[in-house]
Homo-oligomer: A and B are copies of this chain.
Amino acid sequence: MPLKFNLHKTSSQSKARLGTLHINGIDVATPVFMPVGTKATVKAMTPTMVEETQSKLILANTYHLILRPGLEVLKQIGGVKKFSAWNNAMLTDSGGFQVFSLAKLRKITDKGVMFNSHIDGQKLFFTPKMVIEAQHIIGADLIMCFDECVTHDATYQYSKEAMDRTIKWAKECKEYHDSNENSEHQYLGGIVQGAMFDDLREYCAKTLVDMDFPFYSIGGLSVGESDTQMHDILSNVMEHMPTNKARYLMGVGEVRDILNAVMEGIDMFDCVMPTRNARNGEAFTMAGTVRIRNSKHKTDESRIEEGCDCYTCQNFSKAYLHHLDKAKEILFSILMSIHNVRFMQRLMTDIRKSIEEDLFIEYRKNMMKRFYDIDV
């Protein structure tokens, strides 16, 4: 059964769109934000807590899961969803990004990447086929092609080589996946690379679209380039993405980047920021971020955000959170993560509502003002 993506509406003002991804019986409203559960857990949250934030699709990282607990364990147990008691939908990335950002002593050839694990130095060889095999064992609903992700300042020449390799690997991934019975319930997405060069992005997009993937992602953005540069690249490449399939902007996360990307027609996002910043004491609100550590919150009886329906805001004051942070209590990470992930889902709900009402541009303008005090 092919992956079904129903496009309900496209904004008359921009390319923003409203849809539903039907993933193995789970309906996911888009634009969607996926919390990240790198090592088979969204950090500091139980799966029940994640579900209560109204997250129905989360991400796990293939690279980390191969290293730990390892494919043997996951194979025996029947995949990461069963392992981690996650009953909703899941996407795994291909490990490409981590191989290029975390691993040591990389050696890249057209066959794959040889590298040393960042945990124990163990020598590993990732190939397109191996990465798909791994994702079959891990068992997420949505999986990704192995890709080469370059730095934002890579030369044109190197960016082109990496893009060509990404296309070659995408073919190998797709061929292997399509011939496997797992393709009946796991859907493989193609990743558009091409660094900061519009012509490479365009070429990569067109080539992958011809290969007919069930959904697409834009990789290699949010890797250090400026907001404007990201927005420009995105705006250009989106011209070449099919409208009838879901489009996923990998690793993006900041409120402004989400607003910009939704405007360009992106349907899916993931980012560690809500949970990472939570643990670092930064709470998100519609009016911007709040540093709970700030001493002014010591006796602050107000909630992180009045009107927020999360467990944290329903029960605890900023003063209590400030205390938990000072006392280095684990409950701090728990409560802050619940709030920030729920914030992201409230943001996405508001975004979807604004598209539904054809008021997205106004919503974006308003949100940029409230959150960043920036006029757009």
Interface residues of A (CB under 8 A from B): 39-41, 43-48, 68-69, 72-73, 76-77, 83-85, 298-299, 301, 311, 315-317, 319-320, 322-324, 326-327, 329-331, 333-335
Inter-chain CA distance A323–B331, complex, in Å, is 21
Once the chains bind, are B331 and A44 in contact (CB under 8 Å)?
A: yes
Once the chains bind, are B299 and A43 in contact (CB under 8 Å)?
A: no
Q: Which of B77, B299, B301, B311 contacts A46 (CB 8 A)?
A: B311
Once the chains bind, are A40 and B320 in contact (CB under 8 Å)?
A: yes
Given A83-B319, A319-B77, do A327 and B68 touch, yes or no (CB 8 Å)?
yes
Once the chains bind, are A330 and B299 in contact (CB under 8 Å)?
A: no
Once the chains bind, are B73 and A39 in contact (CB under 8 Å)?
A: no
Once the chains bind, are A68 and B330 in contact (CB under 8 Å)?
A: no
Nearest first, the 5 closest Cβ-Cβ pairs linking A and B are A85-B315, A69-B323, A44-B330, A41-B331, A39-B327
Total identical chains: 2
Inter-chain CA distance A333–B328, complex, in Å, is 14
Q: Which residues of chain B come closer than 8 Å to A299, judged between CB atoms? A: 72-73, 76-77
Q: Which residues of chain B come closer than 8 Å to A320, judged between CB atoms? A: 40, 77, 83-85
Once the chains bind, are A329 and B39 in contact (CB under 8 Å)?
A: yes
Once the chains bind, are A331 and B73 in contact (CB under 8 Å)?
A: no
Of all chain B residues, which has the CB nearest A279? B330
Nearest-CB distance from A293 to chain B (Å)?
13
Nearest-CB distance from A373 to chain B (Å)?
31
Of all chain B residues, which has the CB nearest A47? B315
Once the chains bind, are A73 and B323 in contact (CB under 8 Å)?
A: yes
Q: Which of B46, B68, B326 contacts A326 (CB 8 A)?
A: B68
Given A73-B299, A77-B301, A316-B85, do A45 and B323 touch, yes or no (CB 8 Å)?
no
Q: Which residues of chain B come closer than 8 Å to A323, judged between CB atoms? A: 39-40, 68-69, 73, 83
Inter-chain CA distance A263–B317, complex, in Å, is 43
Inter-chain CA distance A329–B60, complex, in Å, is 14
Nearest-CB distance from A42 to chain B (Å)?
8
Inter-chain CA distance A116–B39, complex, in Å, is 42
Q: Which residues of chain B come closer than 8 Å to A331, judged between CB atoms? A: 41, 43-46
Inter-chain CA distance A316–B40, complex, in Å, is 12
Of all chain B residues, which has the CB nearest A40? B323
Given A77-B299, A311-B46, A334-B334, do A329 and B41 touch, yes or no (CB 8 Å)?
yes
Of all chain B residues, which has the CB nearest A337? B330
The CB with the most chain B CB atoms within 10 A, among A83, A333, A334, is that of A334
Q: Which residues of chain B come closer than 8 Å to A84, judged between CB atoms? A: 316, 320
Q: Which residues of chain B come closer than 8 Å to A69, judged between CB atoms? A: 298, 319, 322-323, 326
Listed A/B pairs (16) with beta-carbon separation below 8 Å: A39-B323, A40-B320, A40-B324, A41-B327, A43-B330, A68-B327, A69-B319, A69-B322, A73-B319, A76-B301, A77-B299, A83-B319, A83-B323, A85-B316, A330-B334, A334-B334
Apart from A69-B323, A73-B299, A76-B299, what 12 extra A-B contacts exist at CB < 8 Å? A39-B329, A40-B320, A40-B327, A41-B327, A41-B329, A45-B331, A46-B311, A46-B335, A77-B301, A77-B317, A84-B316, A330-B334
